[in-house]
Amino acid sequence: MPAPFAAQLCGYRPKNGNPNTSDNNDKFSIELGRYLFEEMGVPDGQVVGDDPGGDMENAVVRDLQPYRPDLVIRRGPSALAFEQYAHLRVFPEYKQSHVKAAPHIEHLQRLAQALPPSVHTSKLQTALSAAEAVFEEQDRMSERLKLYMPEESLLNLDITCGATQVDLPPVLRLGLSSKWSLRTDRAQDCVSQGSKLASQRRGPMPHYAVITMEPRPAMLKILADGSGSVDYVYHLNLPALSRAIDRARRRRKVGDGGWSPGDTFNRLINQGRIRDYDELVTAVKAIPTGVGASVPGNAVDEVERSEGAGPIDLALFPMQAVIQRKGLLE
């Protein structure tokens, strides 16, 4: 089932009359965009806002939130706001907030020198001199960290679906990259983001997908054809796009095979790589309620009980207990 708001976002550019999904330098993009709009029932000459991508994101959030009011569905937050990626904030925050200790130690030394001579003053000055050496080394190490530590940046996610936790960052359950239409560089951004979400997480991998209105199979292929970085590509109106591609095929008087765009589109559909909007709704509905611990606190005891043995007191007899468990010692 298509997105109920899809046709409202589609329109024709006032300057040239081309569909607002099209690349003005690509005749096939213009042709396919017109067929798509006609199949969707978009009135000829309909004019819409200048930011269909932003309008699409707002519409998706408004449409999805009522299905899961227990989750927080938003536009634009960084992945770093979520539990699986919160660790990536640590070093940038340290780098930004760290200040050298030397000026502060020097200030304290000047204050100590201004004190009346005494045993306690001498001890304070000695302690400050020792502290100066320690903090000088720490400052040197900090500067090396700032210079050599890698910093991997994550792009902001266009739409997120998070499960809240008490006194902890929310868990990212679903992240969407929103692309009203695609260009090669935009598509590569989506793939790169998915790779980073997978490799840099600490915790469960969120469902990561792209939502788009792009009509060209060649552009959709960049994201959907064999890229493990993107789970699926959700299209706002896949049935209408399928009919539009069939019209373009018939216009060229080619059969079911032998026409590259049609063959590509059919392959992506058959592989389940491109999906209709209602499957995104289904995915949101299926997100588990609540957030469980990654490893329950009693998990080790449960495993031991299932093996028919009591817990091992490793603090008392670590090696002997392990040997007995292996059956190597009577």
| Residue 212 β-bridge partners | 179, 235
Lowest mean pLDDT among 32-41, 187-196, 225-234, 300-309: 300-309
| Cα–Cα distance for residue pair 177/223, rounded to 1 Å | 11
Tell me: do 212 and 327 sit in the same domain: no
Phi/psi of residue 172, each to 5°?
-80, 115
Q: Is residue 89 part of a domain?
A: no
Sign of CA dihedral 234, 240, 242, 247: negative
Q: Is residue 290 part of a domain?
A: no
Amino acid at site 312? I
Tell me: do 173 and 256 sit in the same domain: yes
Tell me: do 268 and 136 sit in the same domain: no
For 72, left (φ over 0), alpha (ψ -120 to 50), or beta?
Answer: beta
Mean pLDDT of 82-98: 83
Amino acid at site 206? P
Amino acid at site 308? G
Tell me: the pLDDT tens digits for 224-273? 876 678 999 999 999 999 999 999 999 988 766 778 999 999 999 999 99
| Residue 161 β-bridge partners | 73, 174
Question: Domain span at residue 329?
Answer: 298-330
| Cα–Cα distance for residue pair 294/292, rounded to 1 Å | 6
Tell me: do 65 and 166 sit in the same domain: yes
Q: Is residue 49 part of a domain?
A: yes
The predicted structure's pLDDT at residue 39: 96
Tell me: do 63 and 108 sit in the same domain: no
Q: Is residue 167 part of a domain?
A: yes
Q: Is residue 291 part of a domain?
A: no
Tell me: do 131 and 159 sit in the same domain: no
| Residue 19 β-bridge partners | 12
pTM: 0.77
Angle at 155 between CA 151 and CA 157, to 5 degrees: 140
Burial of residue 113 (number of CB atoms within 10 Å: 0-12, 13-18, 19+) = exposed
pLDDT band at 318 (very low <50, low <70, confident <90, very high): very low
Tell me: do 254 and 321 sit in the same domain: no
Mean pLDDT of 293-302: 48
Split into its structural domains, the chain has a count of 3
Q: Is residue 91 part of a domain?
A: no
DSSP 12: B
Tell me: do 173 and 275 sit in the same domain: yes
Q: Is residue 275 part of a domain?
A: yes
Tell me: do 45 and 193 sit in the same domain: yes
Tell me: do 140 and 194 sit in the same domain: no
Tell me: do 42 and 64 sit in the same domain: yes
Domain containing residue 262: CATH number:
3.40.50.10010
The predicted structure's pLDDT at residue 323: 33
| Cα–Cα distance for residue pair 83/191, rounded to 1 Å | 22
The predicted structure's pLDDT at residue 287: 94
Q: Is residue 85 part of a domain?
A: no
Which tokens belong to 169?
């960052």
Tell me: do 69 and 201 sit in the same domain: yes
Lowest mean pLDDT among 53-67, 183-197, 287-301: 287-301
* Diameter over CA atoms, the chain: 102
pLDDT band at 301 (very low <50, low <70, confident <90, very high): low
